Amino acid sequence: MKQSDGQYPMPPAWAATNIEEDDMSDKGPYKAYSGCALCYHSCGVEVTIEDGKAIKVEGQKGHPLNDGKLCPKGQAMIEHLYHPDRLKYPLKKVNGEFVRVSWDQALSEIAEKLDKLRNEYGPAALAFFCGSIGVENLEMISLTHRFKAAFGSPNFFSVESICYRMRIRARQITFGKYPVEEMDSKLYLLWGHNPAASDFPLSLAIEENLKKGSKVIVIDPRRIPIADRAEIYTPIRPGTDGALALAMINVIINEDLYDKKFVEEWTYGFDKLVPHVQKYTPEWAEKITGVKADVTRKIARMFATTRGASIFHGTCTQDQCANGSQNDRALAILQVLTGNINVPGGWVISPRLRLNDVSLPFPGKPLGAEEYPLFYELWGRTSPYAVMNMVPESVPSKIRAFMVAGGNPLVTMPDSNALREAFEKLDLVVVYEQFLTETAQYAHYVLPALNQLEFWGLAYNYNVCHCLPYLMLRPALLPPYYECRSIRDYYTDLANRLGFGDKFAWEKDEDVVRYELEPCALNFDALMARPEGAIYQEKDYTLRQGSFATPTGKIEIYSQAFADAGHDPLPTYLEPSKSPQGRRWAELGEKYPLVLATGVRDFYFNGAMLHNIKSLQTWSPYPKAELGPETAKKYNVANGDDVIVETDRGFVKMKASVDERVMEGVVLVPHGWPEEGNCNRLTDCNAREPIMGYPEWKGLLCSIRKA
C-alpha cells in the first residue's frame, strides 16, 4: 500500500477552518482523496478540483479495495454532483405544488408542526427513515439517531429491516461477533451473488485470484457470466436456499467431511445437529429446490475439502425469504463445519473499529420490537431499528409523521402501494434529499442536501463488507451547492427551535468526525496526515478463549437464543407462502403460475439512485423482466416486448429479456426503478419472514403477459 508522501494537498481552508493550510481554492487544478459514497463499497477516489469545482474523478491508485479502478457509478460522480435537476432551495407544498421558501420559514413551520405533534400524540408519533444505513454515510444515520432520541421517539426505519442486518444478527447469534468473508479466497461459493453486477471490488478480486488457481461455484436461478468459468453451476428455485444448505450439511456430516478438530474445540451443539439433519437428504432437497441430488453432493464435497473457502451470500438474497433467518444460520453452520473460520480466504473476525457513538439513548421500543424480539434484542443488547413492513398498518394509529433523510422508501421498501397510501395519511412528511424523488413528491417540505464531496464524513465500512480494517476521511472538497445544507446543520437548526439544541453542540461538520474518531488510534489528525487512508489494526487469525462472545464462549450451532424466542434452535426449512409448494398456491397458483424473484442488481445503479444519470441510462435504459425461452414461448412473449408482470399486490411494466440462462418457470425483476418499473408494486408487506420480519421478496408468485 502506497502511503502519503505529500503528493496531494489537504482540502482548501474553507472546507475545514481548523486546518492550517493555504487556501487552494483559487489555484490551478489539484487532486484530493475521498471515498465514493454512491454505493456501500466506498471505493477510494482521486478528485481533481479547479476553481472550486470538481472536474475529474478517478479510482484511487493503491487503495486496497479498488486500486485505481472505478465502476460506472463512480465514474458518473461529477454528472451526479452537477445534475441540472439537483435541488437548490427548500421547497414547501402549497395547494399540491412545490414553491420555494427560505430555510428559516421551512424550519420554523416544521418545528411548529413537530411541537404540536409531540404535545398531542407523543414523540413516538414521529418516525424517521434513513436511506444511508451507516455505510455510505455514517454521519447521516448517527445524527438522525441522535435527533430522534432527543425528540423522544424510538421509531427509526431504514434498509436494516429489509437488507443485511438479518445476516449480521444471525452471525452474531452464532459467533457472538460478525465474521466477514475475505475477498481473496481459494474457493468462491457465490450463492445468489453476482459480483459483476453488485460487488465491483469483489469481482476485481475474483478475476485476480482465478489467475492464481482459485475456484468458483455458482448457485443462482440465472447462469451469471462467471458461471461459465465455474467448477460447478446449478440453478435453484428462488426462495429455497435453506433446503439446499440443509442437504449440504447432511452430506458433509454423513460423509465425514467436517473438520473434527475445529468442531470439537470451538462449537456447541454439534451432537444435536447430527440427528437433526438426517431427514434433510439431497433427494429431499431436490424436490424443493430443483438442484439435482448428485450436484448437491458435489458442491458439498468440494466446499468441505477446500481450505480457505467462503460462502458469499447475495447482498440480501437469502435474507428476503420466508426462511431468511434460518437460511443465514444454515449457511453460517456450513462455513463452520469446514473449519473455514479465521483462516485466510474464509470468514474472518476482523478487528472492530472503535468509534464514539454519536447517537443517544432513547425511550421506549421501536415498532416491531415485540413482534420480532430477536431483531430488537440479543443477550441484553438492543437494536435501534424498527420493522419497515409494519409501517402501513401503523399509520395513523401509531405514526403520524415521517422525516426522511437520503432515502426513497416509496420505491425501495416493500409494498409500495400500501406504503404510498400510508404516506398520504400522514400529517407531516419532511424529506432531506438531493433530488425530487418519488418519496419527496409526497412530502410537505423538501430540504436540499449536500453531496458527498461537500461535507465531512468517514469512509469506514471496508471491514464490515470486505474484511478490510481500513479507514479514510471523506473531506469536504467543495463549497455547498446553492442553499444546500449538511445534515448536521439542518438538525442543529431544527433542534434549537425545538428546545434541545444543547444536544447538537458541534459547530462544524468536521467536529462530528473528529469526535467519532477520538477512541481510534487513527484519529482525525492522524488521518489528515494520511488522506489516502490506512489500516487501523492488523488482522489476527488466531482463535483463543474469548474469540466468540456467545453465552457458551463457542460457536453456537444450537442456538438457545432462538429457542428462548420460540424458534427452532437448529436450522429448519420454511417454504415461501406464495410459491408452487407454498400454503397459498391453491388460492393464487392458477392466476399467478410463475415464480418471481425481485431485486436483480444492475451494474449501473444503486437501488433507486442514479436512474436520472444520462450516461448510465445509455447502458441500462429500462427495467428488464428476465425469463427463459420456454417460459416466454408458453406465455407468448418475445425478447424486447413490453410486458406486464403481475402479482396479487399489483403490476409493473418492463421490457422482456428472454435468455436461455434464466431458469424456466422463473421471472427475475430488478430493484429500484421508478414509477411503472418499481418492483415493489409487486411485493407484500404482510408476507414476512417470521423471526425478524423481513419481506418475502424471493419466491413469490406472478404472471407475465404482453403489455
Residue 179 and residue 171 in contact, taking contact as beta carbons nearer than 8 Å = yes
Residues in CB range of 49: below 8 A, 6 or more apart: 29, 30, 31, 32, 55, 477, 478
In the predicted model, what is the mean pLDDT of residues 315-333? 93
Q: Residues 252, 321: one domain?
A: yes
Q: Determine the pLDDT at residue 131.
A: 85
Among candidates 264, 276, 259, 278, which has minimal Cα distance to 334? 259
What per-residue confidence (pLDDT) applies to 73? 95
* Listed residue (469, 175, 208, 197) closest to 315, CA to CA: 197
Answer whether residue 278 shows pLDDT above 70. Answer: yes
Query: Which has the higher per-residue pLDDT, 9 or 444?
Result: 444
Does any domain span residue 343?
Answer: yes
Helix (H, G, I), strand (E, B) or coil at 699: strand
**264 and 341: one domain?**
yes
Looking at the 3D structure of the chain, how many domains does it have? 3
Distance CA 525, CA 519 (A): 12
Do 204 and 341 belong to one domain? yes
- Residue 589 belongs to some domain of the structure: yes
pTM comes to 0.94
Residue 4 pLDDT > 60: no
Residue-level pLDDT at 227: 98
Could you tell me what percentage of the chain is helix, strand and coil, using 3-state DSSP and rounding each to the nearest 5?
35, 20, 45
d(CA 493, CA 460): 27
Q: Are residues 338 and 364 in the same domain?
A: no
Whether residue 342 sits in one domain with residue 196: yes
Q: Tell me: do 317 and 432 sit in the same domain.
A: no
Biggest CA pair distance of the chain = 73
What confidence tens digit (pLDDT) does each residue in 181-221 have? 999 999 999 999 999 999 999 999 999 999 999 999 999 99
> Would residue 528 count as lying in a domain?
no
Q: Worst-scoring range by mean pLDDT, 148-152, 170-174, 185-189, 460-464?
A: 460-464
Q: In angstroms, what CA-CA distances link 81 with 405, 455, 531? A: 18, 13, 22
625, 662 Cβ separation under 8 angstroms:
no
Q: Does residue 175 sit within a domain? A: no
Model pLDDT, residue 17: 30
- pLDDT tens per residue across span 24-53: 445 679 999 999 999 989 999 999 999 999
Looking at the fold, whether 497 and 618 belong to one and the same domain comes out as: no
- As to burial, measured by CB atoms within 10 angstroms (0-12 exposed, 13-18 middle, 19+ buried), residue 89 is middle
| Integer Cα distance of 574 and 245 in angstroms | 13
Regarding whether 342 and 195 lie in a shared domain, the answer is yes
Q: Where are the beta strands (DSSP E) in 211-365?
A: 215-219, 232-234, 267-268, 309-313, 347-348
Task: Determine, yes or no, domain membership for 695.
Answer: yes
Q: 653 burial class (0-12, 13-18, 19+ CB within 10 angstroms)? A: middle
With a cut of 70, say whether residue 8 has pLDDT above it.
Answer: no
Q: Return the minimum-mean-pLDDT range out of 157-161, 385-389, 406-410.
A: 157-161
Q: In this model, does residue 5 exceed pLDDT 50? A: no
pLDDT digit string, tens, across residues 582-597: 999 999 999 999 999 9
Mean pLDDT of the chain: 94
Domain-located, residue 206 = yes
Tell me, yes or no, whether 490 and 397 share the same domain: yes
Contacts of 342 (CB under 8 A, 6+ apart): 179, 348, 349, 541, 542, 543, 547
User: Would residue 414 count as lying in a domain?
Assistant: yes
Please report the pLDDT score of residue 391 as a whole number.
97
- Given this model, what pLDDT does residue 88 score? 98
- Confidence (pLDDT) at 164: 86
Q: Which residue shows C-alpha cell 399540491?
A: 96
> For residue 26, what pLDDT is reported?
52
Residue 468 lies in a domain: no
Quick one: three-class SS letters along 421-432?
Answer: HHHHCCCEEEEE
Instruction: Supply the CATH number for residue 288's domain.
Output: 3.40.228.10
What confidence score (pLDDT) does residue 232 get? Answer: 98
**Phi, psi of 156, rounded to the nearest 5 degrees:** -120, 125
pLDDT reported for residue 2: 32
Q: Cβ distance 187 to 217 under 8 Å?
A: yes
Residues 398 and 486 in one domain: yes
pLDDT in tens, 644-661: 999 999 999 999 999 999
Which pLDDT band holds residue 416 (cuts at 50, 70, 90)? Answer: very high
Helices (H), 122-259: 138-151, 165-175, 195-198, 200-210, 241-254
d(CA 246, CA 253): 11
| CATH number of 641's domain | 2.40.40.20
Range of the domain at 152: 91-162+355-450+480-504
- Specify whether 315 is located in the same domain as 376: no
Domain termination residue (choose one: 533, 564, 595): 564
The residue-averaged pLDDT of 462-477 equals 94
Tens digits of residue pLDDT in 601-620:
999 999 899 999 999 999 99
User: 141-168, pLDDT tens digit by residue?
Assistant: 999 999 999 999 999 999 888 988 999 9
Query: In the numeric block, which cell numbers belong to residue 546?
Result: 474469548
Confidence category of residue 245, pLDDT binned at 50, 70, 90: very high
Kindly report the CATH number assigned to the domain that includes residue 124.
3.40.50.740
Q: What is the pLDDT of residues 45-79, one digit of tens each?
A: 999 999 999 999 999 999 999 999 999 999 999 99
Q: Average pLDDT, stretch 492-505?
A: 98
For residues 318 and 206, state if they share a domain.
Answer: yes
CA dist 328 and 559 (Å) reads: 13
